[in-house]
Amino acid sequence: MIKICVPITGSNMEEIKCQLNELALIDVDMIEWRADYYFSMEALELIKKILPDKELIFTFRTKAEGGEKQPDDDFLLYIYTLISLSGKVNIIDLELDGICKTKPEIIERLKSSGIKLMFSNHDFEKTPSEEEIINRYKRMEELGADIAKIAVMPKDRKDVDALISAAKVADKMIQIPIVAISMGELGKVTRIDGEKIGSIITFGSLEKESAPGQIPVKELIKKLRAI
């Protein structure tokens, strides 16, 4: 079954602890620490203490792609390096049109530490053409991604179909695994049927979604098991 990942979106240590304790009672595969909501190495220690066996994605989403903050590149370079050296994170999320473009040297630096990289690209306004989506997946692979993630916003069912079609092509064309998400209410089918289009991870939410259209994790688990 497609891997289920739940974002940690606490804005302080107490909120993070409550979310972790709730997740400890739910059968999920991965967690994503959304450090743009709150960042400290103390929080990382707490995550690994409460959920030591869960695969962990570290994400500092910028405002440009739907995050809470817009830090400068020097800050991002610092925290990505710090996280990679901690040995406590499995995957770091890097924005294709952000740090990957402005500071491409970070890619080899992080890969040399042995950590896996997920390159991501988000469009909260529209769904690009199928050709453009495929080209973005190809660019991620060429730059050195271990996983390629694209999330787009549909305006109608045709946009959802375009994302699905592009994902199926990209999954056969490139050698790395992909994540493909059509956001919002219209795109929920891609969160449930993602495995059919080649997607390896789907994101469910606790009480607060970190992207439009995320399905509450308990409901998501039921739907996926039924399928």
Tens of pLDDT, residue by residue over 34-54, are 999 999 999 999 999 999 999
DSSP state of 175: S
What pLDDT sits at residue 110?
A: 96
Q: Is 97 exposed, middle or buried (0-12, 13-18, 19+ CB in 10 A)?
A: middle
144: Cβ–Cβ under 8 A, 6 or more apart, which residues? Answer: 107, 108, 111, 117
pLDDT tier at 18, thresholds 50, 70, 90: very high
Single out the residue of 139, 140, 116, 128 nearest to residue 166, CA to CA. 128
| Residues 88-108 pLDDT 10s | 999 999 999 999 999 999 999
Q: Which is the catalytic residue, given 63, 149, 188, 196?
A: 149
158 is catalytic: no
122 is catalytic: yes
Q: Which residue has the higher pLDDT, 108 or 211?
A: 108
CATH of the domain at 54: 3.20.20.70
| Residues 75-86 pLDDT 10s | 999 999 999 999
What pLDDT sits at residue 211?
A: 79
Cα distance between residue 30 and residue 56, in whole Å: 6
Taking residues 175-195, report their average pLDDT. 96
3-state DSSP assignment of residue 204: strand
What pLDDT sits at residue 213?
A: 87
pLDDT tier at 131, thresholds 50, 70, 90: very high
Taking residues 114-120, report their average pLDDT. 97
CA dihedral of residues 122, 124, 126, 131 (deg, nearest 10): 0
Cα distance between residue 221 and residue 227, in whole Å: 10
**Is residue 9 scored above 80 in pLDDT?**
yes
**Is residue 28 scored above 90 in pLDDT?**
yes
Query: In the numeric block, which tokens belong to residue 175?
Result: 């050698």
Pairing of the two strands 215-216 and 201-205: parallel
Q: Is 184 left (phi over 0), alpha (psi -120 to 50) or beta?
A: left
Q: Which is the catalytic residue, given 3, 101, 122, 155?
A: 122
Determine the structural domain holding residue 148 and report its residue range: 3-226
**Is residue 183 scored above 90 in pLDDT?**
yes
Structural domains of the chain, count? 1
